[in-house]
Amino acid sequence: MSAAGSTAVRGERGGGGLWPGEPQPLGASFGRGPGGVEGTNFALWAAGAEAVEVCLFDEAGREQRLSLRELTNEVWHGFAPGVRPGRRYGYRVHGRWDPWTGARWNPAKLLLDPYARAVDGEFGRAGDAPALYGHVAGWPQAPPADTVRDERDSAPYVPKGVVTAPFDPGAPGGDWRRPRTPWAETVLYELHVRGFTRRHPGIPEPLRGTYAGLGHPAAVEYLSQLGVTAVELLPVHQFAPEGPLLARGLTNYWGYNSIGYFAPHAGYASGGTRGQQVAEFRAMVRALHAAGIEVVLDVVYNHTAEGGELGPTYSMRGIDNRGYYRLAPDARRYTDFTGCGNTLHAGHPQVLALITDSLRYWVTELGVDGFRFDLATALARGAHGDQGVDMLSPFLAVLAQDPVLREVKLIAEPWDVGAGGYRVGGFPPPWSEWNDRYRGAVRDFWRGALADVRDLGYRLSGSSDLYDRGGRRPYASVNFVTAHDGFTLRDLVSYDRKHNAANGEGNRDGTDDNRSWNCGQEGETSDAAIAALRRRQVRNLLATLLLSTGVPMLVAGDELGRTQGGNNNAYCQDNEVSWLDWSLLDDPGWRSVHRLAVRLIALRRAHPVLRRGAFFSGRARDGDGLRDLAWFTPQGREMTESDWYGPTETFGMYLSGQDLAQRDPHGVRVADDSFLVLLHAGSEPVDVRLPGAPWAASYELLADTAREDQTESPGTRHPGGATVTLPGRAVWVLRAG
């Protein structure tokens, strides 16, 4: 009898009822075996292991251990007749215990199948943590800390894999009707499945916080009305909470602690966790696709929830530690390019297969349209990772030639924490990248901290200095002002300092480089003037983002004034700190911000000049001297080189719709309206002379961020060459006529 009442029944060493089965595909595959008998084929790659047992669990939690005696090309396999979808299982892997050489096999630990399609159960509570470790946690002598093997059974404290029914693409609804939104037309919306839906009044209570909640008509309608074309979901791979968080009464909310790369996180399922989460995720994707909204996943293949050498043993560490992870020269410790204790060895053929098999599964069987890779450079490091990032690495090469994956959206977070890991602008086609240089320049401009505007000019016009090479386009730059990690947009204009005490880390966690400005008072205020200024700054930042060339990424709730109370690292706040407060739409001030976002997204979608698919040339045309991109001083003259090198708080960006360098599907050159965008970060009004001929005879004011009321376009017309007064801290959008 094992701990907590789990009965272990060991099968016969001759196989215990298992037939030989097949070594491929890896994982648990339900189907028909020899003679048409239904059952499940189990296949696990475990190089170096001495024996492997598949452990089946019945409804009472009793465990039956069956030996996988077939070994083919380092894959242990067997077919279990009669094992059907819904059955829970795990593995026990036998081998040497020698952490000094990287060997950490321990059959006392039940291991999650890396290929499990569904996961049932939760990881151990804080008080149960010792059994989760392959070594004796808390060993009193420091030198051998993680080298003494723990013999306690972990099965009662870990979730189990679940056998799932095979996907039938021929069944009704089995095919994927994808929106296939071109990159240049994409507007990303980063959201958390639970946080976005948990307090939504239009979603039934049982569905809030779930995949079904995000697929509910109330959620889909909001996204459609906002106008975004794709949701970028924070991690939905099965993940585990860290022990120290559980001990503090907190949990991992963001999910950047993956442990199951094929399984939709069970905690976001409303209808059950015996495979129902898979169907629920598919239904959510179909609902979003029906509304023309793509689904992009934020994926964490750079590390796992097992952490460093002092971390728990959940899966890969106990299957083949030396194969799955990059080990330090002493082999006992891990090479850590992620800041999370370990780095998955993406250069190993079998680990690379795990990653690509997982990606293809999410695309072909769950309908996903793309991926944002967390700390992507950690995956692109060469065989000797400490020698830097290799843009010809196996990971990048395999994705570039894969017939499925090269057709979906691929976004890199182009940095990790290791030496040489910052590679913004360095990824090859067809990758797009999170552009943090955009974030820094825009934040600094609106808080008055830019020494000059050279860098800002590049960022607003598509970052050609970073991406105009190798056939890349402006949409290689994913522009963002905020992300899940850091201040919300409202907090960016309300706090000069982070306020992370609720995380229980003495306010030491989270960055101190916020590039924020509190508008004169730290935190929430009853001062109406400061509150109005903050809303104006939010409108300025939103307008700048949505009018820049490249792919804009909004963070869920920024368009309606979501606040985290100054917490810039709310990774462990699964509560009102992180959940969207939909009552903000009842506040006239924040409702006005939301309306501006809707109008600007619609304007962007209506005008290809605002979402160019090619970089600007900046050259004057023969005849009229017009440029596809021109920059103007407040005096109405084109900026010279010296203007870029001086402090500037006011300038104009002219975007010509006559030179788009793109054609429609029939080969006809596309033409559009031309626009003048005026940006003024100064606190006082300023007189600005509008460019006259040949740029425009007149200008129609379409948007003014200084206006508190954003119910409709201002509609004012000004003649070319006229002088207008631009309000302090404002963006004007004018259409040239």
Q: Which residues are catalytic, by number?
A: 374, 413
CA distances in angstroms from 685 to 690, 727, 729, listed in the order given:
15, 4, 8
Q: Determine the residue type at 133.
A: Y
Neighbouring C-alpha atoms within 13 Å toward the C-beta of 350: 20
Distance of CA 506 to the CA centre of its chain: 27
Q: Are 600 and 542 in contact (CB under 8 A)?
A: yes
Residue 712, both tokens: 């409709």
Helices and strands per DSSP (H, E), number in the chain: 15, 30
Dihedral in degrees, nearest 10, Cα atoms 576, 578, 584, 590: 150
Q: Report the alpha-carbon distance of residue 543 to residue 679 in Å, rounded.
A: 10
Residue 651 half-sphere exposure toward CB, CA atoms < 13 A: 23
The sign of the CA dihedral 410, 416, 418, 421 is: positive
For every residue of 653-694, DSSP letters joined together read EEE-SS----B-TTSPBP---EEEEEEE-SSS-EEEEPP-TT
| β-bridge partners, 731 | 679
- What tokens does 222 get? 């909001």
Q: State how far the Cα of 422 lies from the Cα of 453, in Å rounded to an integer.
A: 23
| DSSP assigned state of 619 | P
Residue 144: φ, ψ to 5°: -90, 15
| Residues pairing with 680 in the sheet | 650, 730
Query: Scanning the structure block, which residue is given the tokens 């965008």?
Result: 677
Distance between CA 618 and CA 679 in Å, rounded? Answer: 20
Q: Using the CB atoms, write b or e for 58-76: b if 16+ within 10 Å.
A: eeeeebbbbbbbbeeeebb
Q: What are the percentages of helix, strand and coil residues in the chain, rounded to 5?
A: 25, 20, 50
Of the chain, the end-to-end C-alpha distance in Å amounts to: 83
CA distances from 348 to 131, 302, 410 (A): 30, 13, 21
The kind and range of the H/E element at 410 are strand 409-412
Instruction: Centre a 10 Å sphere on the Cβ of residue 520 and count the other Cβ atoms it contains.
Output: 12
Residue 19 vs residues 16, 79, 682, 732: alpha-carbon distances, Å? 9, 5, 76, 72
